[in-house]
Amino acid sequence: MTSFPKARELYDGLRLHQNENTGGCSPRVLDALRRLSAQQIAAYPPYAAAVDACARHFGVDPAHVTLTNGLDEGIFTLSVAYLRRGLGGAVPEALVPEPAFEVYRIDTAVAGGRLVQVMPTSDFSFPMDGVVAAITPATRVVFLTNPNNPTGVSIPLAAIRTIARRVPPDAIVFVDEAYAEFAGRTFIPELPSFPNVIVGRTFSKAYGLAGLRIGCLIGAPQLLEPIRQAISLYNVNVAAVVAVQAALQDHDHLNGYLREVVESKTLLYSACERLGLKYWKSEANFVLVYTGDRTDRLVAGAAQRGVYIYDRSSEPGCAGCIRIATGIVDHTRRCIAVMEEVLR
């Protein structure tokens, strides 16, 4: 049974604004890093063992896995590969159901694509009709996050299937599963039936490897090949390579953290109810909370007390909302105490 620290904090405060693993990585990861030799650090890293470990973990062939420097690199190189403007023809379109990870918008612009946003529903349920209506012959990428960031609401897998069947033949559907471990479901087993879908996974959230920057893309080799051409040589460092293999072996550490997240969310829901705050039940490791005209006071007051939460008011449909990471229970209790102090 994994024992998590009672009051460990990262850097200069309690970081509940980045959806990080507040309990830290597995001790096996630290052991693997300590065993790195001077020769390993001096050489360019081999990837076969890490690719094989990820492939076994996700139940796919190694040819269907591409390692990335954090999932962010995967999203960027995917955008470059599929949203570059060719000679003549329509500008490639990226379809983004909002609210969404802001990197989708940024990378679409950098790659030269045109952003097509689908505005959120009032309850943040997946806007299926709006997404289907927004698909055009120029659609090249549909960005989906499951569970969604920042709402924590999941997309029905049936909706992903429908979208994959509706997009043009040369388009891809990208399913960002950064928080899939917390939801307990994935689209990966369905990939053989949907060769136009790429799934992105990260080891930053549930596995606590955010500082080492490693993720992966999973999909058909012919779909990954244009992305591989856009990825720089030796993009993942040797520390991340050994760390991900160690992390995937420590099931007890992962399961212990998942239990902490579930308990933390329950505690935060109850606190919101006591404080009269609206919230959305989340299948991720964070909760979106509506704080209205108290948002600025709460975010600033919490920061003054060393607890950092994320104001998401600028996101479509999220005016007056904050997002709070829910990890180690002791950290969540401290955040709740600060919320009660500031708001009361």
| Cα–Cα distance measured from residue 27 to residue 294, given in angstroms and rounded to the nearest whole number | 40
- Strand 14-15 and strand 114-118: pairing? unpaired
Look up residue 157 and give its two tokens.
């897998």
Please list, in sequence order, all residues whose beta carbon lies within 8 angstroms of the beta carbon of residue 56, skipping any fewer than 6 positions away. none
Distances (CA, A) of 88 to 92, 107, 111, 150, 172: 11, 21, 16, 37, 20
Q: What is the DSSP string of 63-103?
A: GGEEEESHHHHHHHHHHHHHH---SSSPPPEEEEESS--HH
Reduced to 3 states (helix: H, G, I; strand: E, B; else coil), residue 114 is: strand
Helix (H, G, I), strand (E, B) or coil at 311: strand
The whole-number pLDDT of residue 344 equals 85
DSSP assignment string, 167-234: S-TT-EEEEE-TTHHHHT--SGGGGGG-TTEEEEEESSSSS--TTT--EEEES-HHHHHHHHHHSPTT
pLDDT of residue 11: 53
Helix 70-83 and helix 221-230, axial crossing angle in degrees, nearest 10? 100
* Nearest by Cα to 129 from 170, 96, 159: 159
For residue 93, give the nearest of 68, 113, 120, 119 by alpha carbon: 113
With a CB cutoff of 8 Å and minimum separation 6, the contacts of 72 are 103, 215
**pLDDT score, position 304:** 96
Residue 179: predicted pLDDT: 98
pLDDT tens across the length of the chain (344 residues): 566 555 444 456 899 999 999 999 999 999 999 999 999 999 999 999 999 999 999 999 999 999 999 999 999 999 999 999 765 578 999 999 999 999 999 999 999 999 999 999 999 999 999 999 999 999 999 999 999 999 999 999 999 999 999 999 999 999 999 999 999 999 999 999 999 999 999 999 999 999 999 999 999 999 999 999 999 999 999 999 999 999 999 999 999 999 999 999 999 999 999 999 999 999 999 999 999 999 999 999 999 999 999 999 999 999 999 999 999 999 999 999 999 999 98
Residues in the chain, overall count: 344
pTM for the whole thing?
0.95
CA–CA separation, 234 and 248 (whole Å) = 21
